[in-house]
Amino acid sequence: MELKNMVALVSRTGRHLQRYDKGSRVVVGCIPYRYKLPLNKTSFVDEDSLEVLVISAKRKCKGLLFPRGGWETDESMQEAAQRETVEEAGVVGDLAMYLGKWKGQKKESYMFGLLVKEQLEFWPEQDKRQRIWMSVKEARKECKQDWMSGALETLVKGLTTNENEANLGCGFPLGVQDNRRCNL
């Protein structure tokens, strides 16, 4: 699915296609990231060379979040994560790694790292949300929820060490894989 060509200026709404697992709504999302300077083969990646994109919350919650939303029955997990990121943050990119699953009281969240290739001028929720690029250090201060801090730390570790071999190519834990690989 080519999301860039399918971006409408309206977000999907309603819960009739939403996935649930034992009463918890299943949501997926991304931590959009970029490198401050172009990388080459000899570049060393550390957290100071990264920026992540956060968005303002639009409803009851205050503060900043990573884009995420409902995984619907008519799409793969990766498609849903990319769609939610386009709708809420207005960025398009390549899924770079699977970050993990976090279980809350009402939601089960699956998160990915998304290397941003393009920032759209217009996107569905541009009137409801602000998007802010910030350093990893600044983002840590904004991570008020376990799923946010856990996903951010997994992303940073995966991008700055060689310990991410199992996650490259969006490897999924047992029971989550949908036999598709991320675009690398």
Whether 19 is covered by a domain: the verdict is no
For the chain (184 residues), the mean pLDDT of every run of 10, in chain order, is: 49 66 90 84 77 85 87 92 96 95 89 96 92 95 90 93 47 38 34
Taking alpha carbons only, the member of 117, 32, 27 closest to residue 75 is 27
Query: What per-residue confidence (pLDDT) applies to 184?
Result: 26
Query: What per-residue confidence (pLDDT) applies to 38?
Result: 72
Whether 77 is covered by a domain: the verdict is yes
Phi then psi for residue 38, to 5 deg, are -60, 140
Q: In angstroms, rounded to a whole number, what is the distance separating the alpha carbons of residues 131 and 88?
A: 9
Whether 168 is covered by a domain: the verdict is no
The parent domain of residue 72 ranges over 28-160
CATH of residue 89's domain is: 3.90.79.10
Query: What per-residue confidence (pLDDT) applies to 41?
Result: 61
Q: Which residues contact 27 (CB under 8 A, 6 or more apart)?
A: 68, 69, 70, 71, 84, 107, 108, 109, 110
Whether 126 is covered by a domain: the verdict is yes
Q: In angstroms, rounded to a whole number, what is the distance separating the alpha carbons of residues 104 and 183?
A: 29
Whether 10 is covered by a domain: the verdict is no
The total of structural domains in the chain comes to 1
Q: Which residues contact 5 (CB under 8 A, 6 or more apart)?
A: none
Run of H or E residues at 92: strand 91-103
* Helix and strand numbers, DSSP H then E, in the chain: 4, 8
Query: What per-residue confidence (pLDDT) applies to 26?
Result: 93
